[in-house]
Structure 1
Amino acid sequence: MMAAAELTHTATDLLDFFPAANGDGLNITWGHALNNKAQFEQALKGDVMMLETDIMVRGYGTSNPTNIPIHAHPPDSDSDLTVKEAIDLFMQVTNKGIKLDFKCIEALEPTLQILQQRKICAPILLNADIVNGPESFSTPVDPTRFIDTCNRYFPSAIMSLGFTTAWDCTPDASYTWEIITNLLYKVHRLPQHVTFPIRAVYLSTSWKRFLCVLGMKPSFSITVWSSPRDNVDMSGVVALRKYGGKDRVYVDLQDETMQQFKKALIDDDESTTHREVPIHWCRDLWFVDDTVPLPDNWVYLSTTGALFLSRNSKHSTSKRVHSKQAYEVVKTGTHPLEISGTLQFIGSSNSQNVSGETEFYVYISGTGESVYSDNTNDIIAMSISNSGKITLQKCTTQVTSTDSSLPESTTYEFTLHNIGVGLKPMVKVSAKCLNSDTVDLESNSSVEVALTEIVVVDISTSPKLSVSFCKVGTTKDLMLEDVVVKC
């Protein structure tokens, strides 16, 4: 098999290929469901920039399937347009790109073989829904087979990797972190551009999570799409474009929905009250310690927080996120160090019955250096487990600790107070449970834990403190957000 790069160039960035878009993903125009010859030819003659078409094999779902790739969408099993015919027509124009949406894995390799035989100098998006998304129980395309096959033929092609979805007007349905991390596990190693097709109807409840995803890698982008019957709340779409960047968010909406979106953009620009994203985390102040290789253990530093991915890892302790700077403790003790944040434990649907706890740790070190938890420079460790147990301990040979409990939850807020030198040496953690299915949070949501008579740092020898975070346990992933360090 001849290398694809010798024959076909498909890695062209959409915004580079279409200068008329002026670097704005909103200005890329799309033709939808071009699954017959008349529609495809009309789109080739028209103004749309990207041709979007579905692909399956002829006879798919019947008793007589073939290996001939055609343009059709289930439940159809035949079409008057084969992939070979469509690509031959596509080769006659020079000002368009194409998005190939694979509805079955059987159509993938025959299609890529056809593409490989032609010298295409245009963007080609290879699309499939490879994990289950909101309200959907349909079978995704095999993720490993899809990604591996695409990379074997076109290792630089733009991947468009998304979620199966359904919509039943459920008001609080969303792309949860469980759903999103299931996809991130599949794609995090890919070096090429990956765009995530996201259904607009769910963005009002999910846009902040995808803002975080965009901040994880510059090669990630979002393609917002809609179905004709979707009733879209535009607030999430507007916010994602506004804060995610117009060059990172493509908008592929149905015509009527697109007009509603453009009006919502105008209304937002004219509004005197603008939505502000309460992001306290600054990625530039933190780094991931990679001195110890953990091949099945990853930490994403995003623009909004840190995502720890190590579910079912062989290594129980994650890589550690360290502060780049050391925080100086004032001798009078009037400005002690304070650390606060929000953490969410993330578990997939197939790990609900897995036993064992996962814990989040904050470490305070007394030398201004980045060290591991077994180092004597670690002074204080605070942990919160997914069962609600909170522990505060002094990291010395003779360990001093105290603990308490909150209701079992997925999301907690925490604040470490009074870390420094004072007249009454004490370290205190305040924690709050943000959601629970089992208790009344009005009366059971907060707790405080304190260690007294602790001289956190001897300022005569070590006037600075450093901060680090890690996750211990492999039954859950963890998202850390809204981190604020005050000194």
Structure 2
Amino acid sequence: MCPSGPHRSCLHRPRQLGRHQPPGAEPTHGAACSRRAGHKRRRIQGSSGLRIRSAHMIEADILQDIKSNQPIMAHPPQNESDITFYDWLNEVLKSDKGIKLDFKSLEAVGPSIKLLELKKEYLNRPVWLNADILPGPGGTTSNVVDAQRFLEMVDSFIPGAVLSLGWTTSFSRDQDNYGYTWEMVKQMQELCKALQNTITFPVRAALLPASFLQLQWLLQQSERYTLTVWTGKDDLYSLDDLLQYRRHFDKEKIFYDISEAHRTIVKKTTGSSQSQS
């Protein structure tokens, strides 16, 4: 996954991807059910794989359906849905919102990208392509999407998309949780250094306290890099830890996918920025 800011670098502007989110936009999520029920628009907006990201982005999880051999909107452990990516995309393109696609399996990437390619004339909006391509703190390798193959697929079809490249992680309330290690951030830099895309790195809020120097170093490697801070439903994290990042990092380099109450507090905290907004 790559940057916490949906704008391309000045060296390589996005192709057919028009409007970008403003710096510091804070995404929020809404959820829903997955089964067929009532009006088609309601079904799609209520699919389990869809999350509304504030006024800016619509986010959806994508799996490859074994039975139909096509991408569907679903989030593990739920592996079934009657909402196909094709139907979802057609409905979402009626709005003016950006799109973030969270790929839960490599098998879904190719077919989904081909559908996006067919609709590229309508993609005058931010397009984020997300996958966990490395194991992270407490994360397993079983849910990792193959990094090289994922990057090859998305680059061959949509070189202008924002890449959201992350680590698999876990969080436990009953034991200490370590942060993103030097090895983890250096592995990510090795994968991303040759890319031309803008990149945002999704990082788990509960793991930030032990990751300050590592993430600071990672952002310093390229102007194309940003962070997107997110939190799990049952995670425990300190608002002070978020404010620490806000105060010492360029605020245009950090996006927030956290509770509305915490986003409001964070936004009111002056951060480091060459261009304050």
The TM-score with structure 1 as length reference comes to 0.47
Gaps of 5+ in 2: 1-14, 35-40, 273-277
Task: Kindly indicate whether residue 34 of structure 2 is the aligned counterpart of residue 9 of structure 1.
Answer: no
Q: Which residue of 2 aligns with 1:117?
A: 118
Q: What code does the residue aligned with 2:162 have? A: I
Q: What code does the residue aligned with 1:73 have? A: H
Contact residue 162 and residue 197 of structure 1 kept, 8 A: yes
Which entry has the higher C-alpha Rg, 1 or 2? 1
Q: What code does the residue aligned with 2:59 have? A: E
- Please give the alpha-carbon distance, in whole angstroms, between the structure 1 residues aligned to 2:91 and 2:135: 34
Give the fraction of aligned pairs with identical amino acids, expressed as a percent. Answer: 27
Q: What code does the residue aligned with 1:76 have? A: Q
Task: Kindly indicate whether residue 192 of structure 2 is the aligned counterpart of residue 190 of structure 1.
Answer: no
- Please give the alpha-carbon distance, in whole angstroms, between the structure 2 residues aligned to 1:230 and 1:68: 33
Q: Which residue of 1 aligns with 2:27?
A: 29
Higher relative contact order (CA 8 A, sep 6+): 2
Task: Kindly indicate whether residue 141 of structure 2 is the aligned counterpart of residue 129 of structure 1.
Answer: no
Q: What code does the residue aligned with 1:113 have? A: K
- Please give the alpha-carbon distance, in whole angstroms, between the structure 1 residues aligned to 2:44 and 2:69: 22
Task: Kindly indicate whether residue 164 of structure 2 is the aligned counterpart of residue 163 of structure 1.
Answer: no
Cα distance, 1:264 vs structure 2: 6.0
Q: Which residue of 1 aligns with 2:231?
A: 226
SS in 1 for 2:232: coil
- Please give the alpha-carbon distance, in whole angstroms, between the structure 1 residues aligned to 2:134 and 2:87: 30
> How do residues 56-67 of structure 1 correspond to structure 2 at under 5 angstroms?
56-59=63-66, 65-67=67-69
> How do residues 231-250 of structure 1 correspond to structure 2 at under 5 angstroms?
231-250=236-255
- Please give the alpha-carbon distance, in whole angstroms, between the structure 1 residues aligned to 2:32 and 2:88: 10
Q: What code does the residue aligned with 2:164 have? A: S
Contact residue 214 and residue 244 of structure 1 kept, 8 A: no
Q: Which residue of 1 aligns with 2:265?
A: 263
Instruction: Give the counterpart of 2:155 among 135, 151, 154.
Output: 151
More strand by share: 1
- Please give the alpha-carbon distance, in whole angstroms, between the structure 1 residues aligned to 2:128 and 2:148: 17
Gaps of 5+ in 1: 1-7, 16-22, 60-64, 277-487
SS in 2 for 1:136: coil
Q: Which residue of 1 aligns with 2:204?
A: 199
The alignment's C-alpha RMSD in Å is 2.7
- Please give the alpha-carbon distance, in whole angstroms, between the structure 2 residues aligned to 1:167 and 1:90: 33
- Please give the alpha-carbon distance, in whole angstroms, between the structure 1 residues aligned to 2:220 and 2:159: 23
SS in 1 for 2:133: strand
Q: Which residue of 2 aligns with 1:424?
A: none
The TM-score with structure 2 as length reference comes to 0.80
Q: 1:137 to 1:265 in 2, by over 3 A?
A: same
Question: How many residues were matched structurally?
Answer: 245
1:230-283: CA deviations, max 9, x gaps? 111223322222222221111011x3xx413533665x66xxxx9x9xxxxxxx
Q: Which residue of 1 aligns with 2:9?
A: none
Q: What code does the residue aligned with 2:183 have? A: E
Contact residue 131 and residue 164 of structure 1 kept, 8 A: yes
SS in 1 for 2:189: helix
Q: Which runs of 4+ in 1 moved over 6 A?
A: 42-46
1:158-180: CA deviations, max 9, x gaps? 10000001111333511011111
Q: 1:45 to 1:53 in 2, by over 3 A?
A: closer
- Please give the alpha-carbon distance, in whole angstroms, between the structure 2 residues aligned to 1:185 and 1:100: 23
Task: Kindly indicate whether residue 115 of structure 2 is the aligned counterpart of residue 101 of structure 1.
Answer: no
Instruction: Give the counterpart of 2:61 among 54, 75, 78.
Output: 54
Cα distance, 1:33 vs structure 2: 5.2
Cα distance, 1:49 vs structure 2: 1.6
Q: What code does the residue aligned with 1:262 have? A: T
